[in-house]
Amino acid sequence: MRNIKLKNLEICTLGSHCSLQVLKGAKDENFSTCLICEKKRYDLYKRYSFIDRILLVDSFEQMLEKPFQQRIKKLNCIFIPHGTLISSFSPDDIEKIDVPFFGNRYILRWEADRILKEKLMVAAKLNVPRAIRDKNDIDRLCIVKLHGAAGGRGYFTVWDRNSFDEGIKKLINLGSISSEKDVYIQEYVHGVPVFLHYFYSPLCNEVEFMGADRRYESDVDGIARIPSKQQLNVNIEPTYNVIGNIPLVLRESLLEEVYKMGEKFVRAAKKLVPPGIPGPFCLEGVYTKDGTFITFEFSARIVAGTNLYVNGSPYSEMLFGKEMSMGRRIATEIRITNSNNQLNKILT
Ligand code: ADP
């Protein structure tokens, strides 16, 4: 277990992604809160009174500097990882940061690397889209993705080798990738995309389904606003850049399977990447027309879609009977494990 004092814990995160929700939840559970904030964003974050301490940095890169890490440790902080950490740093760097992390920092490598990601989803026996390793095998609509948590930026659809080569050329010219080896090709699943938010508590060995969202992505979600004939004229090539999130409730008959998928994922994570997945995670996929969920992705930490539910979601309300955001759920887990001397179960 990492060396951490049990009194006066402070909850800390990077100023981006879901930091407001995380720190609001921590404050609701009476923790002190600390934000690592890039100077350019200070004017935004200074507005929020639940942020007790702001550590200003020129860029998040500073998190990798030893003196900065020592400063965070001295403050007795528990660091909450989110998508910006994954998009800002390599898995090697993340593993080296000498500050106690909430959750399993080693599983973040499995999120960032699409091959490892696929391995974990297959091990969990989730339905997954076909992965295409050789561009010559593209024989249907596929989606081409970058590694890491790119938030859909730069993704494009292809239907044969030529369209793939064309798209790759554009990404190389834009400087987004250096070669076609930097992408992952996956069968495009038809249906509706849904993001399922879970929390796993190792204390009671329970998976909690906390909520769901759909993403609002530019410009793919704008295409339907243009008549189809004109879509052809302007030759639109949609991309999947996340702009925001839209709340969603599921048909109640789908919930049983939602729980089963979450439990399968937790079991596989424990086996492949000890200590598994304490804390929040998200299964991301498409419900097909027969109501089957095909998981195209997971996030092994809190997702920004949970920002919708600062006051709790319909599902968290039914589980907890009080306003329970994902940020607050994290803080609750820290509070309880700390009082039971079991922080080692939730920190790495
Ligand atoms: P990121 O990991 O960067 O957040 P995702 O893998 O979640 O990106 O994909 C971004 C978006 O691309 C999704 O919200 C969804 O709209 C679309 N998408 C991803 N994979 C598929 C797929 N296999 N079939 C259909 N749509 C997909």
User: How many beta carbons lie within 10 A of that of residue 130, not counting itself?
Assistant: 13
For ligand 1, atom 23, name the residue with the nearest CA.
188
- Using pLDDT thresholds of 50, 70 and 90, give the confidence band for residue 278: very high
pLDDT in tens, 115-152: 999 999 999 999 999 999 999 999 999 999 987 666 67
pLDDT tens readout for residues 207-252: 999 999 999 999 899 988 988 888 887 777 778 889 999 999 999 9
C-alpha–C-alpha distance, residues 138 and 161, integer Å = 6
123 alpha-carbon distance from chain centroid = 20
User: What was the pLDDT predicted at 81?
Assistant: 98
CB atoms within 10 A of CB 188: 17
pTM for this entry:
0.94
**Which DSSP state fits 191?**
S
Query: Apex CA 217: angle with CA 146 and CA 159, to 5°?
Result: 55
Spacing, Cα 296 to ligand 1 middle (Å): 7
**DSSP conformation letters of 4-44:** --SSS-EEEEESSTTHHHHHHHHHHTT-EEEEEEEGGGHHH
C-beta separation of 155 from 146 below 8 A: yes
Q: Which two tokens stand for residue 176?
A: 């987004």
The pLDDT value recorded for residue 150 is: 66
| Mean confidence (pLDDT) of the chain | 94
Residue located via tokens 């509706």: 192
Pairwise CA distance, residues 332 & 335, whole Å: 5
Beta pairing class for 77-79 and 10-14: parallel
Considering only CA atoms, which residue is closest to atom 9 of ligand 1? 152
Residue 326 scores a pLDDT above 60: yes
Is residue 307 within 8 Å of 18, Cβ to Cβ?
yes
- The alpha carbon of 75 and the centre of ligand 1 are apart by a number of angstroms equal to 38
Percent of the chain at pLDDT exceeding 70: 97
Between CA 338 and CA 343 the distance in angstroms is: 5
Mean pLDDT over 274-296 rounds to 98
What is the whole-number distance in angstroms between the Cα of residue 7 and the centre of ligand 1? 42
Q: Which atom of ligand 1 is nearest to the CA of 215?
A: 14
Enter the DSSP assignment of 269.
H
**d(C-alpha 188, C-alpha 16), whole Å:** 30
Residues 91-111: tens digit of each pLDDT: 999 999 999 999 999 999 999
Say how many Å lie between the CA of residue 25 and the centre of ligand 1.
Answer: 28
Q: Of 95, 101, 133, 112, which Cα lies nearest the Cα of 12?
A: 101
User: 277 near 194, Cβ under 8 Å?
Assistant: no
pLDDT computed for residue 148 by the predictor? 67
Ordered by where they begin, the domains of the chain are 10-103+339-345 (3.40.50.20), 112-125+191-234+242-326 (3.30.470.20), 131-187 (3.30.1490.20)
Pocket of ligand 1 (CB under 6 A): 129, 143, 145, 149-152, 155, 186, 188-189, 193, 215, 217, 240, 284, 286, 296-297
The C-alpha atoms of residue 37 and residue 4 are separated, in whole angstroms, by: 23
At 36-51, the pLDDT tens digits run: 999 999 999 999 999 9
Helix extents (H) in the chain: 19-28, 42-45, 66-74, 83-88, 91-96, 107-112, 114-123, 161-174, 228-234, 255-272, 314-320, 326-339
* Contact between residue 52 and residue 32 where contact means Cβ atoms under 8 Å apart: yes
Smallest CA separation from ligand 1 atom 10, residue: 152
